[in-house]
Amino acid sequence: MNPNPHHLLEINDLGIQFGGLTALEHVTFSMDPGEIVGLIGPNGAGKTTVFNLITGIYQPTIGSITLGGQTLNGRKTYKIFQSGAARTFQNIRLFKKMTVLDNVRIAAHNQMDYNPLVGALRLPGYWRDEADTTYRAMKMLDIFSLTEHAGEMASSLPYGQQRRLEIARALISNPKLLLLDEPAAGMNPTETQALMATIREVRDRFGVAILLIEHDMRLVMGICERLVVLDYGQVIAKGTPAEIRQNERVVKAYLGGSAV
Amino acid sequence: MNAATRNSWILNAIALAALSAAFLLPIQSGAVNAYIVGLLITALINIIMATSLNLVCGLLGYLALGHAAFMGVGAYAAALVSIHWNVPLSFPLALLVGGIAAAITGVIIGVPALRLRGDYLAIITLGFGEIVRIIMNNMPILGGARSLRGIPRITTVPVAYAVVIICVTLMFTLGRSRHGRAILSIREDEVAATSSGIPVTYYKILAFTLAAFFAGIAGGLYAHYMGVLNPNRFNFDRSIEYLVMVVLGGMGSITGAIIAAIVLTLLPELLRGLSNYRMLIYSLALILMMLFRPDGLLGTAEFSLASIGRLFRRTRRSAQNEGRDHSES
């Protein structure tokens, strides 16, 4: 199969083994620019492993991943971030003892280019880059209604805001692909509703494609344009939310072997 | 640079000038004796050692047990420049060469060592420190165990003071640049840092190398203060002493490291009157400190004039809020 130039993300026959354990095999799917795709499946199906493979935390045993025509295999995690794939984590990973503003500014690291000497001596390049980055970071915080918390420690934010900060941090680099790992985990229905609106707004405003792992079916069915279903490390179904809802294998995977 | 930043820089510059005057004038007038002068120079050198180790232990969050070895490398390199190379401005040059020699050693040890985490790095740096000491002991050009003699004694209090100001300022500004933030992010969460585009390995080595560089400069100051160098001065015990200063001051706080360096240099001397009990009291002070303030004197916070202002405002505001609460009820 040749890579389709219109696809943003192309995952082809992806597989990974940990020792003798096959965590993923024959995973193939693709995403278009600006698309919202849901990656669902029972616990332990390998969803987060897919994220870790895309972002280079793990290296695939076989198969290929391309983003915007570039192969990601063998690239370091920070390089993959620089080529346009940003992510959030299932169990929020913020820089806890740093300010909300600094959390966002760290991810803008590569958009500044002054060297350590210029920074240490506070030469004009430092002031220019920092002012520009701070301005952009504050604008980003504004989009996620975090402006008033800019100077607070990230750890002092309530849970829902920490989730939003993580998304803000991922977006500061203008990624082409945003990977959200269970963004609604631990949220109440009202917060989840607000999150759905935020995710849609993010896509419309930044034109970023979003791949999200989520167990909250109302959220998944509500905002995803397409779904990829994983079970025991294999893709068992792909399609629109309506198709997936009717799919026998998916129902079986979720409800157990005998239920049809 | 906005107005608030500029004001705070001006305020700090004035405060620094006042402090310098208060500190240096008595010494220049000859009112203090050689014992005190020696103590002050030691304290100043220790300030550079503690703040530079803070780059690795505080900002990067890695435990390093061989910091004295970098000081030793810097001391010997600077001493050799001064002894064999009689050119104008040889002292600043010697300090710089000392710093660079230590930095190069830092890269050599950092590249393999920083692939490991936590405890393993501590053991590697410990071993490295001993290796450096033994090499120094056995190199004829360094005088070995018979000591290296004839180093010009140039380090005075004003000289050491000026070098401390320059070094600490550079470490402070570096800590608050994109590079400093990158190093801090590694301490906070390495996976999140690399997933946010931070080349983690590069910044680990950068932090380690910078720490070694400043330790090398401190070594240069030390060499030109003592006039004689012996490898045993840079042993494991010394590395631990610097680590204690950083831990006591609060990992990640430059001002904390400075205060701890001064206190821990002066404390054993002030307790000299108690002769046999002084190391006991010194150790007890450390234990109590860790029991009651495990984050160190300042934690990760910095002492600043602006923060005092903020504290006052906050107290006033909370007092006002309390007043309002009472009137509502």
**Amino acid A233: pLDDT:** 92
pLDDT at B12: 83
Which residues in chain B are contacts of A87 at CB distance < 8 A? 195
Mean of all residue pLDDT scores within chain B: 86
Q: Is the pLDDT of residue B40 over 50?
A: yes
**For A94, which of B181, B192, B194 is closest by C-beta distance?**
B192
pLDDT digits (tens, 9 = 90+) for B254-295: 999 999 999 989 888 888 777 777 778 778 877 888 888 877
* Pairing mode of beta strands A177-181, A85-87: parallel
Instruction: Please answer yes or no on whether A98 and B188 come within 8 Å at the CB atom.
Output: yes
Interface test with B, best of A48, A82, A92, A93 (most B CBs within 10 A): A93
Cβ contacts of B200 within 8 Å, gap of 6 or more: A78, B186, B190, B193, B194
Residue B169 to residue B161: CA distance in whole angstroms: 12
Q: What is the separation of C-alpha B244 from the centre of its chain, rounded to a whole number of angstroms?
A: 11
Q: Average the pLDDT over each of A100-114, B80-94, B220-234 and give the range with the smallest value.
A: B80-94
What are the tens digits of pLDDT across the range B158-201?
899 999 999 999 999 999 999 999 999 999 999 999 999 999 99
Minimum-distance CB partner of A120 among B174, B193, B196 = B174
Residues 166-195 of B with CB under 8 A from A: 170, 173-174, 177-182, 184-185, 188-189, 191-195
Joined together, the tokens standing for residue B32 give 């203090």
Taking the C-alpha atoms of residue B198 and residue B196, their distance in angstroms, rounded to an integer, is: 6
Identify the residue whose tokens are 């810097």: B74
Q: Render pLDDT for B74-107 as a digit per residue (tens, 0 to 9).
A: 999 999 999 988 777 789 999 999 999 999 999 9
**By CB neighbour count within 10 A (0-12 exposed, 13-18 middle, 19+ buried), where does B133 fall?**
buried
What type of residue is B272? R
Mean pLDDT of A216-221: 90
Contact B189 A120 (CB under 8 A): no
The pLDDT of residue B309? 65
**Does the predicted interface ipTM exceed a cut of 0.95?**
no
| Contact yes or no for B178 and A119 at CB 8 A | yes
Query: In A, which residues are within 8 Å of B302 by CB distance?
Result: none
Task: Pick B177's closest partner by Cβ from A81, A96, A119.
Answer: A119
Query: A133 to chain B: nearest residue by CA?
Result: B178
- A56-100 pLDDT, tens digit per residue, is 999 999 999 999 989 999 999 999 999 999 999 999 999 999 999
Between CA A92 and CA A157 the distance in angstroms is 12
Dist. CA A55–CA A57, nearest whole Å: 6
Task: Give the Cα separation of B78 and B94 in Å (integer).
Answer: 4
Contact B62, B190 (CB under 8 A): no
The span from the CA of A17 to the CA of A24, in Å, is 7
Predicted model pTM: 0.89
Question: What residue ranges in chain B does DSSP mark as E strands?
Answer: none
CB of B235 within 8 A of CB of B241?
Answer: no
Average pLDDT value for residue range A26-52 = 93
CB contact under 8 A, B199 and A78: yes
